[in-house]
Amino acid sequence: MASMMFTDCSSSTAAARLLPLSRSRLRSACTSIFIPRFVGTHPMGTNSLRTILTVHYSSSSSHVIKATMSTESFAKVIDGKAVAEQIRDEITAEVSRMKDAIGVVPGLAVILVGDRKDSATYVRNKKKACDSVGITSFEARLPEDSSEQEVLKFISGYNDDPSVHGILVQLPLPSHMNEQNILNAVSIEKDVDGFHPLNIGRLAMRGRDPLFVPCTPKGCIELLHRYGIDIKGKRAVVIGRSNIVGMPAALLLQSEDATVSIVHSRTKNPENIIKQADIIIAAVGQPNMVRGSWIKPGAVVIDVGINPVEDAKSRRGYRLVGDVCYEEACKVASAITPVPGGVGPMTIAMLLSNTLSSAKRAHNFQ
């Protein structure tokens, strides 16, 4: 007796309907069907079941002699690309409403110093994103050997320009520049990256609202909200404590009444701490560091990491993976972001959202 296993996605009824098929049709049916069936109360925030149909058939004929069925739980995929698209559509509508009502178009200025290829790509993508939603983009490109004073002059010009509602300095800056001096020079009213110490300070204090929240952590929380995942009272672990992701992500989770632990490079036995989390945000920069066995069954995993790993099969010779071992985690978690296609697209969507809010605030437009 030979056996063959295939997955059916929709339901046990659909699986049962396949039983009378011949062996060749069973083979063709098994290749790619997996449509998750949602369980629970919210269609976006719960995990999916997949029905596994194991078919045993006679090796001498094409007759199916036995079929067994079981279900396995798989994490719901948190689709950052789809959510980011939805947010961009909302922003496009708001930009157009604002333009029609008061004749104001939000503007975002980006300052790029030096010729790092990755930074140039990020800036190009930001410009494209602005164009796609109707936000005006401004760009200052300065050579690598520019002085700090020259950069500060551009920042000051954009601070005073009423058509600019957001200013972004592309990091990292060349090593001869003082990043702190430069970021501090951006007007807090236009700090759409949310990195100004006053914005971070307000984020950390109870009862003080920052004007802007840093885009990547804001995107992580937005994904939880849009998928109906409760934060209040949950135990959350943030892995990483950088100024741009880990630290503000932990502050945001705390402001939403989660009980938060932070794991960093000096943390002893990180897996023991991570295993207690209902919500994990991983922002480490270590490919596949978080294993499936470190995750509490049913936890929600937001993977911020973007790590290139060698892949001879890929045309580019590498592929991108997260900080969490996706293949293992998706069998334990209730919901998880993929890499790519999870947090990444949300970062730019949040930048556009911050720029729109800034323009609305500047013009007192509701």
Q: Which residues are catalytic?
A: 126, 170, 193
Question: What's the burial of 1, exposed, middle or buried (CB within 10 Å: 0-12/13-18/19+)?
Answer: exposed
Could you write out the DSSP letters of every residue in 221-282?
HHHHHHTT---TT-EEEEE---TTTHHHHHHHHHHTT-EEEEE-TT-SSHHHHHTT-SEEEE
Smallest distance, ligand NAP to C-beta of residue 196, A: 17
Would you tell me the crossing angle of helices 215-226 and 344-362 to the nearest 10 degrees? 100
Q: Is 343 in the site for ligand NAP (CB under 6 A)?
A: yes
Q: Per rule CB under 6 A, is residue 321 in the interface with ligand NAP?
A: no
Number of amino acids touching ligand NAP (CB under 6 A)? 25
For residue 348, the minimal CB distance to ligand NAP (Å) is: 8
Q: Which of 216, 288, 354, 358 binds ligand NAP (CB under 6 A)?
A: 216
Under rule CB under 6 A, residue 228 binds ligand NAP: no
**Binding flag, residue 123, ligand NAP (CB under 6 A):** no
| Least distance from ligand NAP to the Cβ atom of residue 166, Å | 17
Between helix 215-226 and helix 246-255 the angle, nearest 10°, is 40
List, in sequence order, every residue forming a beta bridge with 324; answer none if it has no partner. Answer: 290
Is the CB of residue 186 less than 8 Å from the CB of residue 159?
yes
Specify the DSSP element, H or E, that contains 28. Answer: helix 23-30
Q: Is 268 in the site for ligand NAP (CB under 6 A)?
A: no
Interaction mask 51-80, ligand NAP, x per CB under 6 A: ------------------------------
Stretch that binds ligand NAP, among 156-164, 280-288, 328-336, 353-361 (CB under 6 A): 280-288
Nearest to 280 by CA among 250, 306, 255, 309: 250
Token pair 């849009």: residue = 226
Q: Judged by CB under 6 A, does residue 155 bind ligand NAP?
A: no
- Binding residues (CB under 6 A) for ligand NAP: these are 216, 239-242, 244-246, 263-267, 270, 283-286, 304-307, 343-344, 347
